[in-house]
A = this chain, B = another copy of it.
Amino acid sequence: MASQHFAGVLVPVLTPFTPAGEPDAGRYVAFCRFLLDQGADGLAIFGTTSEANSMSGAERMALLDRLIAAGIPAAKLMPGAGACSVSEAATLIHHAVGHGCGGVLMLPPFYYKGMDEDGLYAFFAAVIERVGSAALKMYLYHIPPVTQVPLTLALVGRLIKDFPNTVVGLKDSSGDWSNTAAMLKEFPGFGIFPGSEVFLLDGLRHGGVGCITASGNVNVPGIRKVYENWRTPQADALQAEITLARKTIQAYPMVPALKRIVAHFHNDPDWAAVRPPMTRLSDAQSAALLADLAKIGFTLGERQREAAE
């Protein structure tokens, strides 16, 4: 298995939209820079939290072009490049590899349901062959609550075996620790990232390399602290703190909630905009969310505000 270079706290970056509903490249570049300044180890742009699937492939590629042009290091980027078709996935990946991105995060084809393992395998294999680049480092994206198309251990094992220099890691957003644990056990050396910081410490203790987590958009410093101190006696207390923050946020619709928090701490109300089919939090929900965060002393957010100002 090839080594992979990502580790630590990766953020599936929220995508800002203008009041007219277009991707807002200016705010986007600034926010990516802010997250790296805060200590993010990598940016898993164009993930589920990024509303990537609410953008066309062309829109995503244009945003990536803007990040690169602005000097965001490509090695820090792991763009989501999933699509329902081999052809579109290959186009997106080819573009990312051309920019020298550190990796790509790839969904299974998520339109058709109940496809068998051979068909899913053939999809990934066809994309890898079509891209045809030794520079491609692919992370599989397991998020069955959304895709309804699970990546089984057997499938992941076949892909690792047949594409050892390409298929180098996986984001597990199943929300099911027993699945993450089984993968960590089965595939030592594979770059496995739980899809939530709730499993960060457990993951690190069992061979995980970090996490890729939505709440990184508003809490890089707190999550990084667990990553930096996981072998210390403080680890469990630090983990409890970030778990509480996460659970407070995810009591609300996650993406609109995160955007509302960013709007608040960055003093930038336009940040709250989402693209359909998502909807913003109502005023009442927003007030309740911010009150809930104040109640648990979400000071990390405050520290973010200072950095943003």
Copies of this chain present in the complex amount to: 2
Provide the A94-120 mask, 1 if CB < 8 A to any CB of B, else 0: 000000000000001111110110111
- Across-interface contacts of A120 in B (CB, < 8 A): 276-277
A307 within 8 A of B: no
Contact B54 A122 (CB under 8 A): no
> Using a CB–CB distance below 8 Å, which chain A residues touch chain B?
21, 48, 53-59, 83-88, 91, 108-113, 115-116, 118-120, 122-123, 125-126, 145-148, 275-279
Contact A111 B112 (CB under 8 A): no
A278 to B149, CA, bound (A): 13
- Across-interface contacts of A56 in B (CB, < 8 A): 57, 83, 85, 87-88, 91
Nearest opposing residue in chain B for A113, CB measure: B146
Q: With both chains docked as a complex, state the minimum distance between the C-beta of A122 and any C-beta of chain B, in angstroms.
A: 4
Contact A21 B84 (CB under 8 A): no
Contact B59 A119 (CB under 8 A): no
Please name 29 pairs of A and B residues whose Cβ atoms are closer than 8 Å in the assembled complex, sorted by A.
A48-B111, A53-B84, A53-B85, A53-B109, A54-B84, A54-B85, A54-B86, A54-B111, A56-B57, A56-B83, A56-B87, A58-B87, A59-B85, A59-B87, A86-B275, A109-B277, A110-B110, A110-B111, A112-B146, A112-B277, A116-B279, A118-B279, A119-B277, A119-B278, A120-B276, A122-B276, A122-B279, A126-B276, A148-B148
Contact B55 A87 (CB under 8 A): yes
Contact B86 A276 (CB under 8 A): yes
- Across-interface contacts of A55 in B (CB, < 8 A): 85, 87
Q: With both chains docked as a complex, state the minimum distance between the C-beta of A284 and any C-beta of chain B, in angstroms.
A: 15
In the A-B complex, the 5 residue pairs with the smallest Cβ-Cβ separation, listed nearest first, are: A53-B111, A122-B276, A119-B277, A123-B276, A115-B277
Nearest opposing residue in chain B for A278, CB measure: B119
Q: With both chains docked as a complex, state the minimum distance between the C-beta of A90 and any C-beta of chain B, in angstroms.
A: 9
Nearest opposing residue in chain B for A91, CB measure: B56
- Across-interface contacts of A119 in B (CB, < 8 A): 276-279
Q: With both chains docked as a complex, state the minimum distance between the C-beta of A171 and any C-beta of chain B, in angstroms.
A: 16
A145 to B147, CA, bound (A): 13
A277 to B21, CA, bound (A): 33
A123 to B83, CA, bound (A): 19
- Across-interface contacts of A112 in B (CB, < 8 A): 48, 53-54, 146, 277-278
Contact B21 A126 (CB under 8 A): yes
- Across-interface contacts of A277 in B (CB, < 8 A): 108-109, 112, 115, 119-120, 122-123
Q: With both chains docked as a complex, state the minimum distance between the C-beta of A60 and any C-beta of chain B, in angstroms.
A: 9
- Across-interface contacts of A113 in B (CB, < 8 A): 145-146, 148
- Across-interface contacts of A123 in B (CB, < 8 A): 276-277
Contact B86 A21 (CB under 8 A): yes
- Across-interface contacts of A54 in B (CB, < 8 A): 84-86, 109, 111-112
Q: With both chains docked as a complex, state the minimum distance between the C-beta of A48 and any C-beta of chain B, in angstroms.
A: 8
